[in-house]
Each structure stands twice: as structure tokens, then as C-alpha cells.
Amino acid sequence: MISKDFIGMTFAPHTVCVEAGRLQFFLKAIGETGPVYTDRYASHDAGYDEFPVPPTYLFCLELEKPDPFFHLTAIGVDIARVLHGEMSFDYYLPVSVGDCLTFNASIADIYDKKGGALEFIVIDNRVTNQNNDHVADLRSTVIQRNGQA
């Protein structure tokens, strides 16, 4: 069982800048061809100086650290046995290519169901940009399946 003492634990912030090429690869992987994301003029007409990141890309930027799953492995979660349970984003300001974001992660909750067969780990991330403006909040719930081969 993962200790509930980890609830409230915070991690050192990590900063990552939005790179054009990496973003383009992501758009390809999800099949996004919308003009706002791929055509400079359309993007500009929509009010962006640089290409915006699509709604779920903040999750990818959060993973961009030496060990992408550090927040889980650090508290003893086995990534072979995890499933993503829930994910949510609250958006306050747009994020575009060239922005440098800082992620402040914390363990919001740990609980179990079915007599410990399923453990739930809730991780929050507060995201600020290079101007120290609060751009978004992320909440991710990961489920560890216990008692299986």
C-alpha cells in the first residue's frame, strides 16, 4: 500500500519551454490539422502571436522532465500496474510556442477502493508562465491495480 503520509507532499518545480518542432510532432500524432494550430495566418487571425498548444498538451509538457513519472515512482507507485483514471484542466491564459512554463506538483490525495485492490493517487499541478502568470491547473488521478500477476 502507498502511504497516505505522502498526501500534501510537494515536488521541486520544473520549467519547460514550448518548442515548435515538438509541438508539430504532437499535432501529427493526434491528427490535428486545424488551421489555428498549423497555419500561421489563421493562428494570427485567431489572436495568437505564436502557435497555441492544444488543450491536452500541458500534460505532455508536465511529463518533460528527466523521469516523466517521477511523481509516481517517488512515492512507490509501480508504473507497470497503473491506469490513468481521470484528468482535468482549468485554463486561465493561452499557452503558445516560446512560452516557458513552470509546473508545481503536489500530491492532492491518496485513497483506495475494493479493500486496497485499487489505489488512487491524485496529483495537482499549478502552472505559471515566464511572466509568473497563472496559466492553468492540472489534476491527474492515477489508479494502481494491486493483487494481479
**Max CA separation in the chain (angstroms):** 56
The cell for 28 is 501529427
Q: Which range in 5-13, 29-37, 99-107, 117-125 contacts other proteins by CB under 8 A?
A: 29-37
Instruction: Name the DSSP letter for residue 92.
Output: S
Task: Rule CB under 8 A: choose which of 81, 113, 114, 134 binds other proteins.
Answer: 81
What is the C-alpha to C-alpha distance for residues 125 and 13, in angstroms, rounded to an integer? 9
Which helix (H) or strand (E) element contains residue 44?
Answer: helix 40-45
Nearest to other proteins of 77, 107 (CB atom) = 77
Task: Rule CB under 8 A: choose which of 25, 76, 100, 130 binds other proteins.
Answer: 25
CA angle in degrees (0–180, nearest 5) for 75-109-18:
75
Is 47 an interacting residue with respect to other proteins (CB under 8 A)? yes
> Which residues are near other proteins by CB under 8 A?
22, 25-26, 28-32, 34, 36, 40-41, 44, 46-47, 49, 52, 54-56, 59-61, 63-64, 68-69, 79-91, 94, 145, 148-149
